[in-house]
Amino acid sequence: MPALDSGSILRPARDLRFRRIDDEAVVVRQRAGEVLVMNETAARLLELADGRTSVAEWVEVLAAEYEIDRQALEQDILAFAADLAAEGMLELAPPPEEEESRGV
Amino acid sequence: MGFEQVLQKTWRDNLLFSVLVELTYRCNLDCFFCYNDLGLRGEPLRTDQYLDFFAELSDLQVLNLTLSGGEPLAHPDFLKLGACARELGFVVRVKSNGHALRGEMARRVRDEVDPFLIEVSLHGATAATHDRQTRVPGSFDRLLANLREMLGLGLRVKLNSTMTRWNEGEIEGMMALADGLGLPLQLDPEVTPRDDGDAEPLSIAPSREGLGRLFALQAERAGSGAAAVSVAREGDEGIVPVPLAKHCGAGSAGIAVDPYGNVYPCVQWRRPVGNLHRQSIREIWSASAGLREVRELTARAKEVVDAHGAAGPLLNFCPGLAATHTGDPLSVYPDALRRAEVLGEVLEQEKKRVLLPVVP
């Protein structure tokens, strides 16, 4: 996967299922038959990764929630998102025009 | 926090986590001991109602959604509903007799529903026994062919079998069949009355000897490192039992819904606690007096089981089945006592076997 930047648009991997139980995410990786429990930050990123909003937009949302310095927040988010992508939990969403041409 | 703690939280805090939906009671087989109440009448939920229901379950953070029946694939909009379930992010399980899971349908189930697991019913190790129970000639051969096709498509499949007097002589054969296909097998040692209380299925309940052989084989396989054969407690499927103040997650973390929108605390506990034609699941979950009673009963059921001491866990007690058998969800029914007794004997024998000196 190419390096992520603030314009990247991510979505959960196709075989990923997750739900938020209070402050945590229960994540199921279907292919592997694996269940993980992840922390609040991961839960929030998985919620935000809807395949439509960019990382920059996540930063706006989270900056309002946590009152953290935006630049540091963006770096943290990009690093965490890259980790989730490396683990195969997040993937880059196809560009909108490609989605439209597929009738999605 | 681990997954077990999350499950504990769902039971303790009444967080709906697993839902079983009986889409239809139509079926292409005619199993002698089918537990469905085929005389039940009502207005079936429409597809648009299911879609709204699923969306609400997703908002409630329900993770596990099991599509069952009858035969769920017999619902005319099964694929549409399954695809919707996938899109909404559920871990989808399909409980099927496997009869229609072949060719284009099997491929579409894989591609459109993308189930985590398909649970398929196996009734025997031979065509004679399997077809006797399904009352459809050729169903065994077709099932085997379909299983191979499903495996070829990469679908994850588990075999479920209810042990009966007719198939108890084929337990080893069923285990061998499952091993040969590389599939897990779950054996349910309990034939249950129909959901309307009709006790006819109990006429083919397994014998004491059959139960003993099943438990002995399980112990043997556990000791030999062979694939484990689990024993079912249907209602909690997909949920790991966790130590808590409640006996089970019925009405606390799970519910079942029949084709007419009746909501039950569990597939085994046919005590309606609401109806989706009249209320949303959110309203039922938060305000149903019936559910509150069920949650209290599951706590009292734990006290009932605990009172049996070391034999308690061997009962595999189900309050829903207790209610069906006796009318009282807290009454330990004879089948549970018999099973605990047989299992206790087998475990005792296994203990002695382990203690025998090894002679070189």
The ipTM estimated for the assembled molecules is 0.86
> Which site among B12, B15, B59, B61 would you substitute to test the A interface, given the most A Cβ atoms closer than 10 Å to its Cβ?
B61
The minimal CB distance from A37 to the residues B1, B89, B156 is found for B1
Strands A34-38 and A24-29: antiparallel
Give the single-character DSSP code of B266: B
CA-based nearest distance B91→chain A, Å: 6
Burial tier of B285 (Cβ tally within 10 Å: 0-12, 13-18, 19+):
buried
**Beta-carbon separation of B6 and A20 below 8 A:** no
For residue B77, report the phi and psi dihedrals to the nearest 5 degrees: -110, 30
In Å, what is the CA distance from B123 to each residue of B221, B226, B232?
Answer: 21, 21, 15
What is the pLDDT at residue A11? 95
Confidence of residue A68 (pLDDT cuts 50, 70, 90): confident
Bridge partners (DSSP) listed for residue A26: A19, A37
The residue in chain B having the minimum alpha-carbon distance to the alpha carbon of residue A12 is B89
Q: What is the helix (H) or strand (E) element at residue B68, kind and residue range?
A: strand B64-68
More confident: A2 or B113: B113
| pLDDT value for B352 | 73
Cβ pair A21:B61 closer than 8 A: yes
In this structure, the number of other CB atoms found within 10 A of the CB of residue B224 comes to 8
Tokens of A87: 């683990």
Mark yes or no for CB contact A17/B62 under 8 Å: no
Q: Chain A residues with CB inside 8 Å of B15's CB?
A: 21
Which of A23, A30, A31 is the mutation pick for testing B, counting most B CBs within 10 A? A30
Minimum-distance CB partner of B90 among A14, A17, A26: A17
Between chain A and chain B, the number of residue pairs with CB atoms below 8 A apart is: 41
Contact A33, B156 (CB under 8 A): yes
The HSE-up count of residue B146 (CA atoms within 13 Å, CB side) is 26
Task: Tell me the CA end-to-end span of chain A in Å, nearest whole number.
Answer: 23
Contacts of B1 in chain A (CB under 8 A): 24, 37
Q: What is the pLDDT of residue B305?
A: 94
Residue A11: Cβ within 10 Å count: 17
A104 in reach of chain B (CB within 8 A): no
Mutate to test the interface with A, among B8, B116, B153 (most CBs of A within 10 A): B116
- At B227 the pLDDT is 64
Compute the average pLDDT of residues A56-81. Answer: 91
* Tokens encoding B297: 């009963």
Q: How far apart are CA A25 and CA B89, in angstroms?
A: 13
Q: B3 and A35: CB-CB below 8 Å?
A: yes
Is residue A37 within 8 angstroms of chain B, CB to CB?
yes
Tens-place pLDDT, residues B282-322: 999 999 999 999 999 999 999 999 999 988 989 989 999 99
Question: B24 with B75: CB under 8 angstroms?
Answer: yes
Q: Which of residues 2-31 of B touch A (CB under 8 A)?
A: 2-3, 5-6, 9-10, 15, 17
In order along chain B (360 residues), what is the average pLDDT of each group of 10 residues? Answer: 87 96 97 93 97 98 97 98 97 98 98 98 98 98 98 98 97 97 94 92 95 91 69 48 80 97 97 98 98 97 93 91 94 91 89 57
User: Considering only CA atoms, which of B30, B47, B110 is closest in space to residue B81?
Assistant: B47
Upper half-sphere CA count for residue B52 (Cβ side, 13 Å): 12
C-beta atoms of B6 and A28 within 8 A = no
Is the CB of B152 inside 8 Å of chain A's CB atoms? Answer: no
Please check whether residue A19 touches B, CB under 8 A.
yes
Q: Are B117 and B93 in contact (CB under 8 A)?
A: yes
Query: Does residue A40 sit at the B interface (CB-CB below 8 Å)?
Result: no
Q: Which residue of B has its CA nearest to A46?
A: B89
The mean pLDDT value of chain A amounts to 89
Looking at residues A92-104, what average pLDDT do you find? Answer: 66
Tens digit of each residue's pLDDT (9 = 90 or more) over B202-237: 999 999 999 999 999 988 887 776 666 665 544 444
**Gap from A78 CA to chain B (nearest CA, Å):** 24
